[in-house]
Chains A and B, each alone.
Chain A
């Protein structure tokens, strides 16, 4: 992706920090994340449990308060907004949740669940128009018109997740934050949901922020990947670049853990264990450096020099 400079930035985070109260102190779950998401791409954040990847997603959709800047289409959206701006941002950024078992209101029928956003902003001309929008959105995720009168408990996990997708899509957003949308699903229907997301992206020109921990899925699904560890983004590159030239030791250990469907390879595979103490940041502080075009890595001067050598030797 050499033309990054020319592409339109849809969302950019600058030194994004999210903290939670821990007694009288603050605990930072995200310690300064800086990245851009370009229009029409799929940007993935991967990391282990508790690394802060979901928190970044929730900060962007403003469920969690954040410090630093979240800039959407040139406007800062975290912090106080006017009512009209707030409306605009809610309509433009939508979220797909991890667990379809808990993310739907069990006491509301599908018609209400999908229409909820439409009701809130009165995004329909009349009752007929609303019904049409609900049916269109049901059909776009492969569900039937008759499902509108049903309740969530009557659906399978995959169907429920598609209801969640329809609920986000009916708002006609520009950016969708997909928070591990397939982690809670059966393996047999993961591909179905991923293909649906891809199809909708092509049809509507959507931009995805895809939060995941499964690298094999992320490689297939996303254009660029950010690796996050303990609240810090350690490496950011296009998917192929990251898989070909992983630089940060944490990225290397993550990639080494991806299972290969080949017994020979698996037997001889050497797992790389990541230990944070391999960095000596006591004097030489780490920085966020663009080491190659579009390939960012976090490291101090000594490490950057080493990473540069690695790239040249390839």
Chain B
């Protein structure tokens, strides 16, 4: 062994600090995880298709629920699904295809507005509720009172008082609907609130608002996405249920609940009239729910590794 063939290796402190992994980006990792899942992509396509069809198609189809323009044309009634009328026609001669998408659009629109209002109010109040111990004492009492009254009862009483219609229904849904979300957020915030890095932020003089926005809410993205994915289909469900009981929307607002309720009489004679709206309802809610769930999974950083 010749010693001159060996040389001392120097310990390089800087290279020991180097991180070889590529730079991590939260949202990029979310999308990468999401698009890895084939079912997620399929559901996203279905959901986008459903949303575009229900929100945009009715604007071009010229369908007007109040017009009843073909009511005198008896030859147009009860046509089974064919090339001209994809979903057939109903008891007053309107194309079911147009009616169903107009109804789905209006149901979806209402559900999205209600979810947006409930989530915004619920998250803001819930974050403060979980963060402030003084606010908690008051809010818990209010919550206990409201939570003990069934939500359906509140909905029914409110729609009897303020009447039926799109905005009345949205008001009834959001009047106390945010409370459940706020309570859920309160618990989540409390779990994170006392972690040590929040103490560190307080030692650095960070304000409460900054703490909520920078230290707490980023940890709850996946929880919030889960909430959205549960709430949109849930609110569609409430709207359908209330309209089915002829309490939610007025007669001149198209809605899946109204359609299903008015066509259920034909369940045996013209089954397509009943089952097509039900199938559309299922497609809308299931696809939105699944996309939300997959997105919630992907937004949990534990799945990014």
Which residues of A does B touch, CB under 8 Å?
61, 63, 86-87, 90-91, 94-95, 97-99, 102-108, 112, 116-117, 120-121, 142-144, 146-147, 149-151, 154-155, 159, 164, 167, 171
Q: Interface readout for B12-26 with A: 1 if CB under 8 Å, 0 if not?
A: 011001110101101
Q: Which residues of B contact A87 (CB under 8 A)?
A: 205
Specify the main secondary structure of chain B where it touches its partner.
helix
**Alpha-carbon distance A254/B135, docked complex (angstroms):** 45
Select which of A98, A116, A150, A167 is within 8 A of B23 by beta carbon.
A150
Q: Assess whether A63 is in contact with B203, with CB atoms less than 8 Å apart.
A: yes
Q: Interface readout for B203-217 with A: 1 if CB under 8 Å, 0 if not?
A: 111110010001100
Q: Interface readout for B266-288 with A: 1 if CB under 8 Å, 0 if not?
A: 00000000000000000000000
Stretch of B39-47, B74-82, B191-199 on the interface side:
B191-199
Q: Assess whether B17 is in contact with A116, with CB atoms less than 8 Å apart.
A: no
Q: Which residues of B contact A103 (CB under 8 A)?
A: 196-197, 199-200
Q: Which residues of B contact A151 (CB under 8 A)?
A: 24
**Alpha-carbon distance A180/B249, docked complex (angstroms):** 63
Give the residue name and chain of the B residue nearest to A94 (CB): B203
**Alpha-carbon distance A155/B219, docked complex (angstroms):** 19
CB distance from A171 to the nearest CB of B (A): 7
Q: Which residues of B contact A105 (CB under 8 A)?
A: 197, 201, 214-215
CB distance from A196 to the nearest CB of B (A): 12
Q: Assess whether B21 is in contact with A154, with CB atoms less than 8 Å apart.
A: yes
Q: Which chain B residues in 247-305 approach chain A with CB under 8 Å?
A: 301
**Alpha-carbon distance A11/B21, docked complex (angstroms):** 44
New A-B contacts (8) at CB < 8 Å, excluding given A105-B197, A144-B14, A154-B19? A86-B205, A97-B199, A106-B301, A107-B215, A144-B17, A147-B17, A150-B19, A150-B24
Known interface pairs A97-B196, A102-B195, A103-B197. Does A61 touch B23 (Cβ–Cβ under 8 Å)?
no
What are 26 A-B pairs with beta-carbon distances under 8 A?
A: A87-B205, A91-B205, A95-B200, A97-B199, A97-B200, A98-B196, A99-B196, A102-B195, A103-B200, A104-B200, A105-B197, A105-B215, A106-B197, A107-B218, A108-B215, A120-B205, A120-B210, A121-B205, A146-B18, A146-B19, A150-B23, A150-B24, A154-B19, A154-B21, A154-B24, A155-B19
Select which of A90, A98, A102, A107 is within 8 A of B204 by beta carbon.
A90
Q: Assess whether A142 is in contact with B219, with CB atoms less than 8 Å apart.
A: no
Give the residue name and chain of the A residue nearest to B24 (CB): A151
Q: Interface readout for B160-187 with A: 1 if CB under 8 Å, 0 if not?
A: 0000000000000000000000000000
CB distance from A112 to the nearest CB of B (A): 8
**Alpha-carbon distance A219/B201, docked complex (angstroms):** 31
B32 CB–A CB distance under 8 Å: no
Q: Assess whether A171 is in contact with B218, with CB atoms less than 8 Å apart.
A: no
**Alpha-carbon distance A144/B19, docked complex (angstroms):** 10
**Alpha-carbon distance A112/B204, docked complex (angstroms):** 12
Q: Assess whether B199 is in contact with A63, with CB atoms less than 8 Å apart.
A: yes
Q: Which residues of B contact A150 (CB under 8 A)?
A: 19, 23-24
Q: Which residues of B contact A108 (CB under 8 A)?
A: 214-215, 218
Q: Which residues of A contact B26 (CB under 8 A)?
A: 107
**Alpha-carbon distance A95/B196, docked complex (angstroms):** 12
Which residues of B does A touch, CB under 8 Å?
13-14, 17-19, 21, 23-24, 26, 195-197, 199-207, 210, 214-215, 218-219, 301
Known interface pairs A105-B215, A144-B14. Does A171 touch B24 (Cβ–Cβ under 8 Å)?
no
Q: Assess whether B205 is in contact with A159, with CB atoms less than 8 Å apart.
A: no
Q: Assess whether A120 is in contact with B17, with CB atoms less than 8 Å apart.
A: no
Q: Assess whether A167 is in contact with B204, with CB atoms less than 8 Å apart.
A: yes
Q: Which residues of B contact A144 (CB under 8 A)?
A: 14, 17-18
Give the residue name and chain of the B residue nearest to A170 (CB): B204
CB distance from A90 to the nearest CB of B (A): 4
**Alpha-carbon distance A143/B17, docked complex (angstroms):** 7
Give the residue name and chain of the B residue nearest to A99 (CB): B196
Q: Which residues of A contact B196 (CB under 8 A)?
A: 97-99, 102-103
Known interface pairs A99-B196, A107-B219, A108-B214. Does A63 touch B19 (Cβ–Cβ under 8 Å)?
no
Give the residue name and chain of the A residue nearest to B21 (CB): A154
**Alpha-carbon distance A94/B210, docked complex (angstroms):** 19
CB distance from B152 to the nearest CB of A (A): 38
Select which of A97, A99, A116 is within 8 A of B206 by beta carbon.
A116
Q: Which residues of A contact B206 (CB under 8 A)?
A: 116, 120
CB distance from A117 to the nearest CB of B (A): 4
CB distance from B8 to the nearest CB of A (A): 22
Q: Which residues of B contact A143 (CB under 8 A)?
A: 17
**Alpha-carbon distance A84/B299, docked complex (angstroms):** 41
Q: Assess whether A149 is in contact with B205, with CB atoms less than 8 Å apart.
A: no
The 4 A-B residue pairs whose C-beta atoms are closest, nearest first, are A107-B218, A117-B204, A90-B205, A102-B196
**Alpha-carbon distance A34/B18, docked complex (angstroms):** 45
Q: Assess whether B197 is in contact with A102, with CB atoms less than 8 Å apart.
A: yes
**Alpha-carbon distance A206/B206, docked complex (angstroms):** 23
Q: Which residues of B contact A155 (CB under 8 A)?
A: 19
**Alpha-carbon distance A22/B218, docked complex (angstroms):** 34
Q: Which residues of A contact B24 (CB under 8 A)?
A: 150-151, 154
Q: Which residues of B contact A159 (CB under 8 A)?
A: 17
**Alpha-carbon distance A103/B301, docked complex (angstroms):** 18
Q: Which residues of A contact B218 (CB under 8 A)?
A: 107-108
Known interface pairs A107-B219, A120-B206, A143-B17. Does A149 touch B23 (Cβ–Cβ under 8 Å)?
yes
**Alpha-carbon distance A103/B197, docked complex (angstroms):** 4
Give the residue name and chain of the A residue nearest to B15 (CB): A144
Q: Which residues of B contact A120 (CB under 8 A)?
A: 204-207, 210
